[in-house]
Amino acid sequence: MDRKAKKNAYREIAHPMGVFQIINKVNGKILIGSSTNLPAILNRFKAELKMGSCRNVVLQEEWVQFGPDAFVFEQLEILEPLDDPGYDPAEDLRILEALWAEKLKPYGEKGYNKQPKTTT
């Protein structure tokens, strides 16, 4: 199988999607996020942190300070896709992530997420 065929075959695989967290075991801070491909997003975070290129500056600084062994990468909730060819999980993922963020409050001293702006 050539490289292009392998890429196409990979794209056809249904990857688990849902909400994840990255936990700093030293200070208890967490990052909450969501993705349509949980294994890929967690691998991306690990790679970016190892390379020093994570967009979350505070998480990157603490990765350097505490080391990789201080962090745990976990799937919080898997979103089962609807059996509809036109299904777009984006809104469902946004809602699930917001629910987990509301529950865990990963802001300020408790986490790496930015506080959501409130609408009045």
> What's the pLDDT tens digit per position in 8-61?
665 566 789 999 999 999 999 999 999 999 999 999 999 999 999 999 999 999
What is the structure's pLDDT at 118? 72
What is the spatial distance between Cα 56 and Cα 30, in angstroms, rounded to a whole number?
12
Element (H, E) at 10: helix 3-12
The model's pTM is 0.84
Q: CA quadruple 79, 7, 86, 93: dihedral positive or negative? A: positive
The residues, ordered by sequence, that sit 6+ positions from 111 with a Cβ below 8 Å of its Cβ are 29, 30, 31, 32, 104, 105
| CATH of region 14-80+87-105, choose from 3.30.230.10, 3.40.1440.10, 3.20.20.10, 3.30.2020.30 | 3.40.1440.10
Mean pLDDT across the chain, nearest whole number? 92
